[in-house]
A and B are shown apart, each in its own frame.
Chain A
Amino acid sequence: MTTRTTSLPKSFHDAVVKWREAFLPDYEFLLDNWDKHFPNDPQFELCAYRQLGMCTEIECGELKGKPKYVRAAEMVPEQAHHLLGAIRAQASTEFGSIQQHRLTLARAQDEGEQFWILRMMAEELRHGYQMLHLLAEDDWSSVSKDSSSEMIEEILSMTTGSHVLGAFNIDFDSFVDNVVFCALIDRVGKYQLTMQRQSAYQPMAESMPQMLREEAFHLAAGVVPMRRWVTSAARDEGFITMDMLQRAINKWMPRGLEMFGDERGGGTNVRFGLKPMKNAEAQRLYREEVEKVVRDLNLRYLRARLPELSLAEAPRVLDRLLAGEVTDGVRPEDLLRLPCSGFLRRRGVGAFLMVGTGGEPYDDLSDYLHHLAGALPEAYRVGRDFKDYVDALGQVRRGELTAEAAAAQMPALRRVGGACPCSKSVRWVVDAEAAPSTAGA
């Protein structure tokens, strides 16, 4: 297994470093404490990795068996257009998640958990860097009027509220969000990266293995603290309750499902050999995996709550509880449940339908809002994302907007960056003699 390590051209690299200084200010603190929390692990390096020796033939779709593309110009324009969209979306998610995590990182109650998240943030930065590397290394002029520099600048200027995917436009409310986000939203990332490992575009496929290795740890950075928290909750210790976790799951799961795209789509990506699965299939596998995670959390909770339960008894007791039975003082509502796929959806099948966490339909908007008040974190409900959703839902219910039109306007674009000299966007750092001509002030 051979891996090639490369860096972005200096001006782009420096722009990412500048971005890091703005949005990941604890980076140096992470490196200073690396050996304490991750002894003997190789020190983090901001670079792009490409795995060599991977499959060189297209692995799925109409062109299966043909040589993979090494340049975007070799692809038909529609194919390259889809690929470019995926790279930009992927890059946006990587940088976007760091902006979200930083808001509540300091609220971690456990130093170890905090450093896991901090390391994960640094690795997400590297993943974003990896995607920018794909933009910088190839010529995308056949499918984009924007130069690579402009595309990179656009991505680095995005902030929470202007990212490509909805899940990355939602502010975190507490450290619970940092952790639940890793367990649920990074898991979508794992599916996307796994599919892109087979991309017909060789540079994309070669970028995936190292990202996937790192993503495996990101999922653990979510699941392991959640397992510890449900254990503490079962013992009435700590500050994080099952209700808080349930509300966080309800907040993030709908966004996770929507990250796969509309359930009716994805065929074009398969046909073009960019991904091996359509949206609905990948989404189904994802949901099944999250169901396992939630079941394992419930088992962990139950065995902490009822220590006398044996390995064989625990699943049976759990099933009885999930069926609605009160057992040994544990109530069904003490457990975690995955909201149904139609809950709180604003894209795809069921967008803007009023469906409860258990799949129950609502006809009356105020009844539904009352249900949401009992299902979502209070801090989230007073935020802009929820307000936008409720506004759009009201318009759809009153017939002022179709569900499709409402879906199209979410997330609302609130780009604070751009060409304006007073913008808060990250600008190129020009201190290289051969800086690209697009570099700005």
Chain B
Amino acid sequence: MTERTSSPAAADGLRIRPLGDIDITPISSIDEKISGRYRPEVWERQIGYYLRRDPEGSVVAELSGEVVGFMLGEVRSGEFGLEEPTGWIEVLGVDPAHRGKAIGRLMAEALLGHFRELGAHSVRTLVDEGAEELRAFFSSLGFEPSSLRPFVKTL
């Protein structure tokens, strides 16, 4: 994946680059700003996983050298009966102080480009029914509701 700089709609100086080990603290901080929870061990585990799997399958957005957003994902095959390579966007976050700057869109475009390079013809994600903002975000990117529905049973 090549690095991308901002489009006219985005903030000046925005840079999208692949995930790295140095992003653990800033991603943990963005999560804390959004969720109010400090849980670095979760991000150490998660980022270790994504770096191991495909470091270019996850991106961060940098503005003036500061990480202001992240999007983690990968291409997998054979899950839920989906044999073909499928891109999955699994976790994303944008610093609340930097929302409205098309950061999420730019990260998604970078990620989708990478998924295409890896041979994926579709990309999937799961969004909670109540997460209106997230639904609107994915809809604006062209995502549509899928017939594949999640089922859960409490144990």
Contact = CB atoms under 8 A, between A and B. Distances in A.
B131 to A, nearest CB: 23
A237 interface: no
B33 to A, nearest CB: 7
Contacts of B117: 1
A1 B118 contact: yes
Interface stretch (A69-77, A219-227, A324-332, A375-383): A219-227
A37 to B, nearest CB: 10
Contact of B52 (A217, A222, A289, A311): A217
B38 A303 contact: yes
Say what secondary structure dominates the interface of chain A: helix
Contact of B22 (A116, A217, A289, A303): A289
B55 interface: yes
Contacts of A224: 21, 24, 44, 47-48
Contacts of A293: 21-22
Interface residues of A, number: 25
A10 to B, nearest CB: 31
A227 B24 contact: yes
A213 B56 contact: yes
Nearest to B1: A1
A311 B36 CA distance: 10
Nearest to B117: A1
Nearest to B47: A220
Contacts of A213: 54-56
A38 B48 CA distance: 11
Given A293-B22, A296-B22, A220 B48 contact: yes
A220 B52 contact: yes
B18 interface: yes
B44 A216 contact: no
Interface string B83-121: 000000000000000000000000000000000011000
B88 to A, nearest CB: 12
B25 A299 contact: yes
A311 B18 contact: no
B12 interface: no
A126 interface: no
Q: In this complex, which of B33, B48, B56 has the most chain A Cβ atoms within 10 angstroms of its Cβ?
A: B48
Contacts of A222: 21
7 contacts: A1-B117, A38-B52, A183-B21, A213-B55, A219-B51, A231-B41, A296-B24
Interface of B: 18-22, 24-25, 29, 32-33, 38, 40-41, 44, 47-48, 51-56, 76, 117-118
